[in-house]
Chain A
Amino acid sequence: MAVSKDLITKAVVEGIKVASIYLPPDVKEALRKAYEEETNSAAKAQLEAILKNIELAEKLKAPICQDTGLITYYVRIGAKFPALDVIEEALIEAARIATKEIPLRPNTVDPVTGRNPGDNTGRYAPVIIWDGIDPKGDYLEVTVVPKGGGSEYVTVYAMVPPGKGLEGVKEVVLDAVVKAGAMPCPPTIIGVGIAGLSDVAMHLAKKCATTRKIGSRHPDPVIADLEKKLLDMVNELGIGTMGMGGKTTALAVHIDYAYRHPATYAVAVAFFCWAARRATVTIKSTGEYTVTQ
């Protein structure tokens, strides 16, 4: 089948379904491990409920959480992909169809009038992040992330004095985790972005929280080491599952950075709740597609 708007729409609807109903294997594995290691009985009871809920969602083909999020797409395009002109329309249409078919909770609201169009679309919604062009590629890759409100609410942005460097980053992260407490439904995946500009820091934080697999390491060994250290510290804070205390406050800390300006050191901290939903749809120019997690 040749690539068309309908084909892209169909593939992305499938991606939204998979993302909304099934947690990626790395997340499930990490939650299972957290459950096995937990000794605090209140936290363990919550982890048990989480694991049961995941299983039940799969069995009933129902969304994992009632907050089915704001649909976010990270889109990578191969320069040789044949249907560049219809990608955007297809992505919006997919949000509409998925909302009806799964069904998803209608979450998009006009901030001015309060109107909810009921189909998870609207101005800049679904959120489409054009995340790069592969000069030689002949594919389209869309990573679907349904981002819930609770874990978005506690996002932090700070400008640290450049002289403080990574110590400043550590401070911002620990402050953010304590302040977030139970709100982002821990255990979470924490994303940290470091950059010269505020929006870049935020983008990197969000992207590495939501799209990187648990267990993956940053290619820069210094950053990889910092990720591990910060994860240990975050878990030492002892907030635990749903703020009940216990061993696991975060499943992972992911960091990414961009070169900064001499005068700025922007740090953003983003949270992805335990319902860390994502799926990647890859469509080839031949029309074949896959959905992977």
Chain B
Amino acid sequence: MAEYKLKTPLSEEDVRKLRAGDIVYLTGVIYTARDAAHRRIMEYLKAGKPLPFDLRNGAIYHCGPVVAKKDGQWIVVAGGPTTSTRMELYEYDVIEKLGVRMVIGKGGMGKKTAEACVKYGAVYVTYTGGAAVLAAQSIKRVIDVHWLDLGIPEAVWVLEVENFGPLVVAIDSTGRNLIEEVVEKSVKKKEELLRKPL
């Protein structure tokens, strides 16, 4: 297991060297996107409409932050990750068509996302679920916000982050899927435990 400090924009080389289990601290710009933002991204893609932001070589974060306005400035009060599985439906296209290099979330993602990671050079990393105060600490500034009509948690927040992490590489560009491996092992272990009487 290695530890990396990376900066956005991320190159293909940056993410291809990462292996499942590695830890990353990210500095630069990240875009929050959860359910509604993903749905809208897909609508734009389908209609061939350009997005109001550029995700190429960028990082998206599955997060519905608590954001407050103080003296005319947006401030992220809490910004922990949300469960990524719900975004599995869209992430292949997001990686393929928009050139996203890093997807940040929690809870793990599935086969299609892993396939896109291999094909286009991307990784899925997880941030500690619930660690919202810690996350807010490394979010330095709100640079911009898009699609605020979706509501504060669902809007796309453009955030400047410094040493955002620990992010654990859960899917690497060789297709290894750490959380799925853990789940598969646990299924086997469960079968074994069920055969033993109490």
Chain A residues at the B interface, C-beta cutoff of 8 Å: 41-42, 45-46, 48-50, 52-53, 56-57, 60, 62-67, 103, 105, 148, 150, 153, 166-167, 170-171, 174-175, 177-178, 181-183, 185, 226, 229, 233, 236-240, 242-245, 273-275
A-side interface mostly = helix
Tell me the bound Cα distance from A105 to B67 in angstroms.
Answer: 10
Apart from A53-B134, A62-B77, list 4 A-B contacts with CB within 8 A. A52-B131, A65-B80, A174-B193, A181-B183
Q: Is B183 within 8 A of A178, CB to CB?
A: yes
Residues of B within 8 A of A245 (CB): 178, 182, 185
Interface assignment of B89: CB less than 8 Å from any CB of chain A: no
Residues of B within 8 A of A175 (CB): 190
A46-B128, A64-B132, A66-B66 are contacts. A243–B198 as well, Cβ < 8 Å?
no
Chain B residues at the A interface, C-beta cutoff of 8 Å: 1, 21, 23, 64-66, 68, 77-80, 83, 85, 106-108, 126-134, 136-137, 166, 168, 170, 178-179, 182-183, 185-187, 189-190, 193-194, 197-198
Q: Is A46 within 8 A of B168, CB to CB?
A: yes
Q: Is B190 within 8 A of A50, CB to CB?
A: no
Q: Is B23 within 8 A of A42, CB to CB?
A: yes
18 chain-A/chain-B pairs, Cβ below 8 angstroms: A49-B128, A53-B128, A62-B77, A63-B133, A64-B133, A66-B77, A103-B68, A150-B129, A171-B194, A177-B186, A183-B85, A238-B189, A239-B183, A242-B106, A242-B128, A243-B107, A243-B182, A245-B182
Tell me the bound Cα distance from A56 to B138 in angstroms.
Answer: 12
Residues of A within 8 A of B133 (CB): 53, 56-57, 60, 62-64
Q: Is A240 within 8 A of B182, CB to CB?
A: yes
Q: Which residue of B lies closest to A229 (CB)?
A: B198
Q: Is B130 within 8 A of A166, CB to CB?
A: no
Q: Is A62 within 8 A of B78, CB to CB?
A: yes
Residues of A within 8 A of B186 (CB): 177-178, 181, 237-239
Tell me the bound Cα distance from A175 to B183 in angstroms.
Answer: 12
Residues of B within 8 A of A50 (CB): 128, 130-131
Residues of B within 8 A of A275 (CB): 130
Q: How far is the CB of B104 from chain A (nearest CB, A)?
A: 13
A66-B79, A183-B107 are contacts. A237–B190 as well, Cβ < 8 Å?
yes
Q: Is A66 within 8 A of B64, CB to CB?
A: yes
What are the 4 closest A-B residue pairs judged by CB atoms, nearest first? A66-B78, A66-B132, A185-B129, A49-B128
Q: Which residue of A lies closest to B134 (CB)?
A: A53
Q: How far is the CB of B63 from chain A (nearest CB, A)?
A: 8
Residues of A within 8 A of B134 (CB): 49, 52-53, 56
Tell me the bound Cα distance from A49 to B138 in angstroms.
Answer: 12
Cβ 8 A contact of B83, one of A150, A229, A239, A244: A150
Cβ 8 A contact of A244, one of B178, B187, B189: B178
Residues of A within 8 A of B79 (CB): 66
